[in-house]
């Protein structure tokens, strides 16, 4: 056998989005051999990891949270340099990340997520004896997790997908987002230290790097990978779905691809509290330079005095919004193109924030269009990822349910109204009867940004908000995505999984 030629690894570096300058060390793009070794190790680790008692997996997750917290200063500093997100935001995102790890630790210890069922046999049953059948959830196998650009911690290497997959007993191979490799490396180091400290099998967790798409594609194609978690753009998510479907053994892809998160402001709300609604909206669509999947991108506002007041207030707030560095040059360029497309599609620019000095600054933008012009320009309902929102001015609330019925799948849909509008049989009721089949989360008189992490949260939604609208990527229910059911028929007690035994 001849040895393969030694290749110089391709190197890349992160960029500080505020300056465009390189920051941090060079990272080597993971080679095909390294990727293969990582997935092979994950596949070898899977049976042992899945067989560990829940308490052992819980210890691992809790320790990962501790290790992350121990590195807080370093992680926050690196993430701030790589993403331009403010320190306070990164600290709270780190707390959310550790909270998620701990939430899943408690969940696996509780065992309810297993949905263990025992249906005892009856050899005397007529006409045929009844077999003893027991079943529970089991992890699918190694999971590929794609880090999101906009949540460098909570939806990245040690984020929600990783926490829920590990909790389910699935090893994880995480693909670092190319714009924050240093943050990814720091988070991965914390998880790997936790794995070693708690005696997890070699290969239970790995991180791979790329500044392009080859490594991610190879990961999704790899026969050892059994499911994919992704948060990002529609183009990226759909590409992974296609790759996964074309495998000899297709695998599930959970791609969260974003949405415009429509907000319907009813006339009662604009009459009673136009400024409050305007301020809430402004805070929501400009939060984090508008870089949230739940950013309210389309707001239906009545053509009345209250609607005008709301609009005036929004104009003022938007005009006074400072520019902010976006996550990376690609996000910033896409945002600028999105604004151009809104204009080309007929949206009228009502207000714009201050322009910045930085090469990747996102400038807030407020747009308006009349409802009757929307039907001819459906591209106005496409997601513009950044601090922009489009006001759609409508005449009568009765027009809204038909508008809602024409919407694509959304992560969220929100209605603002006064109590008289929120009665059964009222306009909000009519709207929600349509929206319930078009969004993963329905909201009354609050705003879609700020996703509560808990047992009841649904962060998902019909296509194209996600590629698999049956599930959620946030909250305890997320563990279900990386599991399947297995039944055990007529098993001797000693060979049953512990959760299915009599004891």
Q: What would the two tokens of residue 263 be?
A: 């907000």
Closest contact distance (angstroms) between CB of 379 and a copy of itself is: 15
Q: Is 306 in the site for a copy of itself (CB under 8 A)?
A: no
Residue 199, Ramachandran bin (φ over 0: left; ψ between -120 and 50: alpha; else beta) = left
In this structure, the number of other CB atoms found within 10 A of the CB of residue 245 comes to 11
User: Quick one: which of 225, 235, 258 has its CA closest to 473?
Assistant: 258
Determine which helix (DSSP H) or strand (DSSP E) holds 366, and give its type and residue range.
strand 365-370
Window contacting a copy of itself (CB under 8 A); options: 156-164, 196-204, 248-256, 307-315: 248-256
Residue 87, classified by CB atoms within 10 Å of its CB into exposed (0-12), middle (13-18) or buried (19+), is exposed
| Positions in 115-154 near a copy of itself (CB under 8 A) | 117-119, 127-128, 130-131, 133-135, 138, 140-141
Q: Is 201 in the site for a copy of itself (CB under 8 A)?
A: no
Closer residue to a copy of itself (CB): 349 or 470: 470
Torsion angle in degrees (nearest 10) through CA of 280, 283, 285, 288: -150
Q: Is 333 in the site for a copy of itself (CB under 8 A)?
A: no
Closer residue to a copy of itself (CB): 5 or 424: 424
Phi/psi at 316 (5° precision): -65, -45
Closer residue to a copy of itself (CB): 117 or 305: 117
Q: Is 22 in the site for a copy of itself (CB under 8 A)?
A: no
Closer residue to a copy of itself (CB): 380 or 439: 439
The binder of a copy of itself chosen from 70, 87, 402, 489 (CB under 8 A): 489
Residue 151, Ramachandran bin (φ over 0: left; ψ between -120 and 50: alpha; else beta) = beta
The binder of a copy of itself chosen from 262, 280, 296, 469 (CB under 8 A): 469
Q: What would the two tokens of residue 258 be?
A: 């974003």
Q: Is 111 in the site for a copy of itself (CB under 8 A)?
A: no
Closer residue to a copy of itself (CB): 125 or 305: 125
| Positions in 372-431 near a copy of itself (CB under 8 A) | 408-409, 419, 422-424, 428-429
Residue 187's contacts (CB-CB under 8 Å, 6 or more residues apart) are 68, 75, 97, 153, 156, 157, 158
Counting DSSP H helices and E strands in the chain, the numbers are 15, 19
User: Which residues participate in catalysis according to the annotation?
Assistant: 256, 293
Closer residue to a copy of itself (CB): 335 or 447: 447
Closest contact distance (angstroms) between CB of 66 and a copy of itself is: 22
Window contacting a copy of itself (CB under 8 A); options: 145-153, 303-311, 365-373, 460-468: 460-468
Q: Is 222 in the site for a copy of itself (CB under 8 A)?
A: no
Residue 189's contacts (CB-CB under 8 Å, 6 or more residues apart) are 67, 71
Window contacting a copy of itself (CB under 8 A); options: 15-23, 100-108, 351-359, 490-498: 490-498
Closest contact distance (angstroms) between CB of 135 and a copy of itself is: 5
Determine which helix (DSSP H) or strand (DSSP E) holds 220, and give its type and residue range.
helix 214-221
The structure tokens 């098993």 sit at 491
Q: Is 443 in the site for a copy of itself (CB under 8 A)?
A: yes
Phi/psi at 35 (5° precision): -60, -45
| Positions in 44-73 near a copy of itself (CB under 8 A) | 46-47, 51
Q: Is 40 in the site for a copy of itself (CB under 8 A)?
A: no
């Amino acid at each position: 056998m001849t040895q393969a030629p030694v290749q110089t690894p391709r190197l890349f570096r992160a960029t500080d989005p505020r300056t465009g300058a390189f920051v941090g060390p060079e990272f080597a793009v993971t080679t095909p051999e390294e990727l293969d070794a990582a997935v092979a190790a994950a596949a070898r680790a899977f049976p042992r990891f899945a067989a560990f008692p829940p308490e052992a997996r819980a210890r691992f997750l809790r320790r990962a949270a501790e290790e992350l917290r121990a590195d807080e200063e370093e992680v926050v500093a690196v993430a701030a340099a790589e993403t331009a997100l403010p320190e306070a935001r990164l600290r709270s995102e780190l707390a959310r990340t550790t909270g998620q790890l701990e939430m899943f630790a408690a969940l696996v210890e509780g065992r309810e997520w297993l949905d263990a069922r025992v249906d005892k046999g009856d050899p005397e049953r007529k006409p045929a004896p009844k077999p003893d059948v027991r079943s529970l959830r089991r992890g699918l196998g190694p999971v590929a997790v794609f880090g999101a650009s906009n949540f460098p911690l909570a939806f990245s290497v040690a984020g929600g997908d990783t926490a829920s997959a590990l909790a389910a007993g699935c090893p994880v191979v995480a693909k670092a987002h190319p714009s924050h490799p240093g943050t990814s490396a720091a988070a991965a180091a914390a998880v790997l230290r936790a794995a070693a400290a708690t005696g997890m099998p070699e290969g239970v967790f790995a991180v791979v790097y790329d500044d392009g798409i080859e490594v991610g594609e190879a990961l999704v194609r790899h026969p050892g990978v059994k499911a994919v978690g992704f948060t990002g753009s529609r183009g990226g998510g759909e590409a992974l779905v296609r790759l996964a479907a074309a495998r000899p053994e297709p695998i599930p892809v959970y791609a969260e691809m974003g949405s415009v998160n429509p907000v319907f402001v009813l006339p009662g709300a604009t009459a009673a509290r136009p400024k409050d609604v305007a301020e809430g909206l402004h805070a929501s669509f400009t939060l984090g330079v508008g870089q949230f999947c739940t950013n309210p991108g389309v707001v239906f506002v009545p053509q009345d005095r209250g609607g005008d007041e709301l609009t005036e207030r929004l104009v003022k707030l938007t005009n006074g919004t400072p520019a902010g560095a976006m996550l990376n040059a690609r996000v910033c360029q896409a945002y600028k193109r999105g604004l151009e497309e809104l204009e080309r599609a007929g949206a009228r620019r009502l207000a714009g924030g201050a322009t910045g000095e930085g090469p990747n600054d996102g400038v807030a933008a407020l747009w308006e269009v009349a409802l009757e012009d929307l039907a001819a320009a459906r591209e106005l309902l496409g997601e513009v990822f950044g601090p922009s929102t489009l006001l759609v001015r409508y005449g009568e609330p009765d027009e809204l349910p038909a508008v809602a019925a024409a919407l694509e799948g959304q992560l969220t849909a929100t209605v603002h109204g006064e109590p008289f509008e929120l009665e059964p049989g009222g306009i909000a009721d009519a709207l929600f009867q349509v929206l319930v089949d078009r969004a993963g989360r329905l909201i009354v008189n609050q705003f879609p940004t700020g996703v509560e992490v808990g047992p009841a949260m649904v962060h998902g939604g019909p296509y194209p908000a996600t590629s698999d609208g049956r599930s959620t990527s946030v909250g305890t229910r997320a563990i279900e995505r990386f599991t399947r059911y297995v039944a055990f028929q007529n098993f001797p007690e000693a060979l049953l999984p512990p959760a299915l035994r009599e004891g």
